[in-house]
Structures are given as structure tokens and as C-alpha cells.
Structure 1
Amino acid sequence: MLFPRHGLLGPSVVSLLLIGSVVADDARTRARDALHTLQGWYNPQSGIWDTCGWWDGASCMNTVADLAALDPSVMETARYVFSNTFNVGPVSNPHPGPEHKTVYTRDNQLSTPVNASLWLDQAYDDDGWWALAWIAAYDVTKEGTYLELAEGIFESLVNAWGTNCGGGGLPWNPTSRYVNSITNELFLSVAAHLANRVPDRKQYYVNWARKEWDWFTAQAFIGENGTINDGLLDNCQNNGATVWSYNQGVVLGGLVELNKAAPNDAYLPSANKIAKAAIETLADANNVIHEFCEPQCLPDGTQFKGIFIRNLRMLQEASPHDLYRKVISSCANSIWNNDRNEKGQFGINWAGPIVAVVDASTHSSALDALVAAVAVSGT
């Protein structure tokens, strides 16, 4: 029984607790139902979800892991996905790239070394998505092989360090000079995540995360209103390209993890500034996030908003703000009420109605918001 400071809980307090419990149960039920629908696209032979691209598959897997961390009832599904994808997923790698060389785990002591090169393609950002996905799978299973795979992928990214912009950062891919935001945000996030999960190499990963963030903030990625643009011109100035939601999101998770590994008074304030600017730019009057490409966001933009909400949830847990909770809850409720077809599938426009393609990417992106709502439903 719970006791307040001055006696038993009053009826109004008990009612609020019961309402909160109902809301949390409803959020979990919605997310479970949406996961069941998502699995209708999962292809055991390819190891990813039909209608998804290579990197979108990594994002889908991250979403499954995030829900399993909150709801043990879906753990069996999650474990199946992780194991099957680990074993067969590389057959779906569409473009093994110039960086495709054998990258084993750092100690090579496993009876079957993890060959991270199987997960590399011709884009460093794709590599980063898979590293984060395997870290998420490790978090809910504690299967060390998954973490070692993420470490191996990160080492391939380290080998790509260095651009014409300040001598640091990563280019978009091995054959391009384009320096974009998402690739470098992913490098930051993977390094910071690993710093909190690999104790004997913590300082190594902290150093890389700090190096990336120091370099990133010295460049022109962040616009005047505090949002992050797509990347840099050849002269290393902001290219003024679209303010995509995922560019506002991945950096939040990276800063949260870096602050956890190596606390600094500037990391969370920087994350909060970016998050609030993004919401000001991307949210409608009902606190529902939109992408500038809606309703036609193929092939990649269909995944972006869920990634923003996933990382906003991480920031909410580390640095709570009523605005973040409202955005997460508003997006989840609007998706369920306005952006769901008769098959229980979600589209790209979270405010509804569905007027464009519905696939595993649009659905899993929306599921990210439902998962985040589970996390904040008790707050």
C-alpha cells in the first residue's frame, strides 16, 4: 500500500493512479497490436521486412527491441527477429561497398568470430543504423555477440574518419565528398552507446564521441533557428537543405548517452535546444510531427519521424519536459485514431488521413511513436 507524506492516499490520488494504469495498459496493447501487424511484413528468408530497404530494416529492428525492453510479453518475437536476422540478414545487403573488408571483433576470441564486414554497404550512415540496431538487441537480450558486432561496425567507421571540413567527421560514403549530418550524428550516437556498454573500452568510445561532437558543433550543420540541416556544401557551409526530422533526432540520443558516459553541463542543454527548435518547426497545432515531404516520402523519408520520436523519448527520460511528453502522446494518439487503415497499418501522415503508400517503413515509423507512448504513459 502507498502512503503519502501526511496519511493515506485520498480518493482523487487513487483515481489518478488508476487512470494512469489504464492509459499505460492501453498504450501497451496498441503497441503490441502494431508489432503483430509489422511482423506480417517480416521475411524469414531475407532477415528484414518486405517493402523495407536495407537501413530501414535496421530501424525496424531497433523499434522491436525498444518495445521488448518495455513489454516482456513480446520478448519471444524480439528474440526470434534478432536471431534470424543475425543469421540471414547479410543476404539482403544490396551494395557491399569499397569499405567491405573483413572486420572481426576486437579480441577475435570467439569460436566463430563476428565478421562485421557482412553488414557494411556503400553508405556509412547505413552502417551506423545497423550498429545501433544490434546495440538495442543487446540491451534486451544481453547477448554479447550482438554488442561485438556493433563494435566491429564502429571500427569500420573509425577507419573513415576525416573530411575536407576541418579534417574531421565522416563523409556520406567511401566514394563521396559529401559531408552530411546524419552520418556524423550516427557516429556520435554509436560511440556514446558503446561507451556505456563496454566498460574496458569506455574511455576509447567516450573520446570518439567527444571528438565527433566537438567537430560537429564547429561546423555549420545547425541553422539560425537551432535546427539541423541535411549537410554541408563543398566549401563546408550549411547547404540549407531540408530540415529532416531524423537529423533532429539521432543527435538527441547521442548526447543523452554521451552525458551518461561522461557528464557535461553542455550536452543536455544542447539536446534540449535542438529538440525544442525541431518541435517548433515540425509540429502542427496539435503537437503532431510532420515531414516536409508528406504525403510522398519514398524511399527514405517514410522512416524519419519515428526515429525523431524514438530519440525524443530518450531525451524525455534524461531531461523531462512536458512539451516532449505532449508531443509523444499526441503523435501516438493521432496515429491510432487518424492514421490507421482497416488492416491496422499506419501511413506517413500521422495526422491522417492515409492518402499515400502504406508499408513496413511507414508502419514501423509510427510504431516508434506508440512505443515511446508506452514509456511516457506513466509520467
Structure 2
Amino acid sequence: MLFSIPRTLAVLTTSIAISNALPQPQPKATPLPHTSPNPNFHQLSERNLQSRATQTQYVTYAVAGINQLMTWYNAATGLWSGDWWNSANVITMLADFQDYFPSMATGITNSVFPTTLAKAPSTYAGFLNGFYDDELWWVLAWIKVYDVTQDETYLTTAAAIFEDAKSAWGTSPCGGLWWDKAHTGVGAVENELYLTAAAKLANRRPSTPSQGYYYNEAIKAYTWFINSGLINSGNTINNGLVLSTCKNDGNLVFSYNQGILLSGLAELTWASGDDSYNELANTIATAAIAALTDANGILHEPCEATGCDADEEQFKGVFGRNIQFLVNRATVLPAATKTLFVNFLEVNANAIWADDEVDNQLGLVWSGPEGTATVQTQSSALDAIVGAACVS
């Protein structure tokens, strides 16, 4: 059983642990919406990292990794090591884990979700700062928490944050959404986040505050993105636009830019009934796997050879998380594509635990050798491990 955790966390950098006794995970009965995960539960057996792990082994790895991650949680600020948008991604990962394995997660999340909701705004009031992408990561985090808790407070918070980006949409010389409030660039990340947030809000608030309020924003964002040139001839997405020309900057193909859009496109198919949105998600995901994995199928970020910064350390998990979403939630997913996506998650989760783990700490390069773990590398790798658990 999970031990009881007080609802108010008062200890700085509190260590909160999930029980390693591993009670049987119970899959969510009625996931949102359309497809129902049907995980196979296996009895815990000896790890064999040379072959595909069982779901229970992935859950075991996730529990160990989350316990380590929680040693970096600061209950006074509601953040992990003071990292802002990265903490939103940690919240999303934890909510994904709760979605499929609630009995394993709620000992932590029942305290962490309300604590972060209450405390994080002391860093940036209303979850608003100088960067629209940062704000929209929090929108997605609170939408996911709403999905697993059905607490309207989280959805209301997400909708309130979204309004700040909505008020700025279309004001750049290239259209779309500025990356920042200083107006230094127009990128893929914030525009993908805007589309995805709008599509998710459309499915959860179809007639609030008015009929089609969020759906219209999602369609507007989709139309802009498709016409922006950010999707290149290889069906992957470059980093941004050149402001002087509003053309694709040809910059690096970062993994997270291939992932953010996937769940938004799938949800746009739910909202519209038009399969083409989900089909585009499958195309982008398939192209990204081909472009960004090595001969063994392990995902790499372009910066790994020279060293990634703290932002880039987060990126790969975003892609893995959204691949899991397609496997379990997409309404348009050919069998061969599903097999590709499941294999991608399992191969990467296996590699992380075999080659990138020391004392439950997970580094940047999933194929190894082991490196120094940070909140970003830990939570990013956990996205892949949780994803593998959710699809196995």
C-alpha cells in the first residue's frame, strides 16, 4: 500500500516516495475519449534488459525514477529545483502516470498537484511570465491534471492562463503567436502549444464561454501553422521563422517540436470528425522517428554531441509523451504505425534503464554512457518510461 502523505507539504525540498511494494496498477476505466487502454498486467519478474520489459518492470522503473525526482521537489515553491516550465512538464508526466496507474501515483499527486497550483504562482503570478511558450506548458499541465482528477479548478486555471496567449495571437509580422513578450521571435514551439491547448480546451469546454470558442482558435492556429512553412519537405518541423522574411529558418529539428503538435492534432480530429488532422500527426511522428533515432532506435537530440542546455535536456520526453498519446488515444492509427510507436517507446525505455541509469538517476543520453542527472533529464527520461508502461 501507499503510505499516507499530508495534504500540506511544509518541508523544503521534501522527499516524497511512492511505495516500492508495487500494488497491482489499475488502468483508468474510462479514459478521455474514444479509445480505452487495455494494459496487460504481468507478475513482477527478474529484470531482463536484453529483451523487452514487461509492463510491471516499466512501472517499477517509473516508481524508482519518480521517487528520485521527488527529492528535488520544493514544496515551498511548488517547483522542482526552481525550474519553471520544466516543472509544468513534470506535472504532466505525473498526471500521465496517474492516468493509467492511479493506485501507484496518488500518494504523491494528491499532495503535489494542489501544492504546485497554490505555491507556483509565487514565482510568476497567474502562471504568466515573459514567454508564451512557458505559459502554455502550464495550460497543458493543468488540463492533464483535470483529466485525471476531474477537479474543475485545474481546467479553470488552464483556461485563464490561455487567455494571455490568445490576446497576443496574430500580432507578429508573420502572424501566429510571438515566442515572447519582448517580440524577439516567432517559433514552432509556442504556436504548436497554442494549437494543442486550444484543441484540448475545445474538447473539454465545447460551449464555454461560447460555442466553438476554443475550437475556432484551434482551427485558426492549425491553418496558420500549415501555411507557415515550418513543416519542411521531410515532414519534420524546424525551430522557427526568420522575422524579416517570415520563412522557415532551417534551424535544428528539435525533438519536442515534433511532439507537441501530435496530441493537439489528434484532439482536433475528435473535435471536428476530420481524420486528416490525426493523419498529419502520424506522418510527423513517423518522420521524426526516422530522422532523430540511431541505428538501434534510440532517440537523440541534435545538441547531445556538444552538450545540451537546461531547456534542451527536457525536449525528448515531450516527444515520447505524445507518442504514447497517439498509441492510446488516437482514433486514426494504422496497425503498422501503432507497432512502430509502441516499439519506439519500449526500445527507448529499455535503453534508458540499461545504459543511462545510476542509482535511479537518469541522464541526458538515453543510449549511454550515464551522465549527470538533472530535473530535466530525469523527467524527460521518465516520460519515455511512463509511456512504455502505458502502452505495454
Give the counterpart letter for 1:301 in structure 2: E
What is the aligned partner in structure 1 of residue 188 from structure 2? 181
Structure 1 residue 196 displacement after superposition: 1.5
* C-alpha deviation, 1:165, in angstroms: 4.8
Kept after mapping to 1: 8 A contact 2:41/2:56:
no
Q: Which residue of 2 aligns with 1:107?
A: none
Partner residue of 2:86 out of 39, 46, 56: 56
Taking every aligned residue pair, what percent have the same amino acid on both sides?
A: 41
Figure out how many residues of one structure are paired with residues of the other and give that number.
334
CA distance in 2 between counterparts of 1:34 and 1:316 reads 23
Q: Select 1:344's aligned residue among 339, 345, 360.
A: 360
Is the 1:163–1:179 contact (alpha carbons within 8 Å) kept by the matching residues of 2?
A: no
Name the SS for the 1:61 alignment partner: helix
Structure 2: distance between partners of 1:348 and 1:260: 35
Q: Which whole-Å CA distance do the structure 2 matches of 1:165 and 1:287 have between them?
A: 40
Structure-2 separation of matches of 1:20 and 1:310: 25
Q: 2:90 is paired with a residue of what secondary structure?
A: helix
Contact 1:163 1:177 in 2 (8 A): no
The aligned amino acid for 1:313 is Q
Q: Note if contact 1:306-1:365 (Cα within 8 Å) is conserved in structure 2.
A: yes
**What is residue 364 of structure 1 aligned with on the other side?**
379
Tell me if 1:67 matches 2:97.
yes
TM-score, length of structure 1 as denominator length: 0.85
Please say if residues 231 and 239 of structure 1, whose CA atoms lie closer than 8 Å, have aligned partners that are also in contact.
yes
In 1: Cα distance, 2:228 partner to 2:283 partner: 17
Residue matched to 1:303: 314
**Residue 286 of structure 1: how far off its partner (Å):** 1.3
Amino acid at match of 1:56: N
Tell me if 1:376 matches 2:388. no
Where does residue 313 of structure 1 map in the other structure? 324
Question: What is the match of residue 206 of structure 1?
Answer: 215
Check conservation: 1:79, 1:141, Cα contact below 8 A. no
RMSD between aligned residues: 1.7
- How do 1:1-379 and structure 2 match up within 5 A? 23-50=54-81, 53-72=83-102, 73-93=104-124, 118-165=126-173, 168-201=175-208, 203-234=212-243, 235-294=245-304, 296-317=307-328, 318=330, 319=333, 321-341=338-358, 343-355=359-371, 357-377=372-392
Question: CA separation in 2, counterparts of 1:284 and 1:165?
Answer: 38
For 1:59 and 1:92, how far apart are their aligned partners in 2? 16
Q: Distance in 2 between matches of 1:339 and 1:76?
A: 27
Letter in 1 for 2:264: G
In 2, are the aligned partners of 1:310 and 1:372 still within 8 Å (CA)? yes
Is the 8 Å Cα contact of residues 31 and 371 (structure 1) preserved in structure 2?
yes
Aligned to 2:29: none
Work out the CA distance in 1 between the residues paired with 2:118 and 2:184. Answer: 33
Residue of structure 2 equivalent to 1:8: none
Q: How many angstroms does 1:215 deviate by?
A: 0.8
**Preserved CA contact (<8 Å) 1:132 1:150:** yes
Structure 2: distance between partners of 1:59 and 1:196: 21
- Name the CA distance, whole Å, in 1 between partners of 2:264 and 2:166: 16
SS class of match (1:241): coil
**Inter-partner Cα distance in structure 1 for 2:128 and 2:386:** 28
**Structure whose alpha-carbon radius of gyration is higher:** 1
